[in-house]
Amino acid sequence: MNDLTEADRNGNSNTTWKILHEISGKQKCQPTKVKLLGGSNPQRDEESLADWARYMYFKELLNNNSSTGITPPRPATADLPIRTDPPTLKETIKAI
């Protein structure tokens, strides 16, 4: 208990929590593994990273050939009227 008090007095929160966990019998939680796309558990972290990069996110999102048929708007030919003054009370109430 003296070690706990001393660690707390010195502001050493890492040691304080370590002692508290030892006293309470609380064990560190094991990190939850994310399953691969096929439903199996990865054997190594590299498998998870490769699975994410290959299938799910980066390659499909970044190399997406959008075929939605929506064309992006053309750039404005002149400067648009953008107000930079503070909003009015009426505008603020309407936004809320």
pLDDT of residue 23: 86
3-state secondary structure string, 50-93? HHHHHHHCHHHHHCCCCCCCCCCCCCCCCCCCCCCCCCCHHHHH
pLDDT of residue 35: 79
Q: At what angle do helices 13-24 and 2-9 cross, to 10 degrees?
A: 150
pTM above 0.85, yes or no: no
pLDDT tier at 45 (50, 70, 90 boundaries)?
Answer: confident
The arithmetic mean of pLDDT across residues 43-68, rounded, is 70
- Which tokens in the block code for residue 25? 């019998």
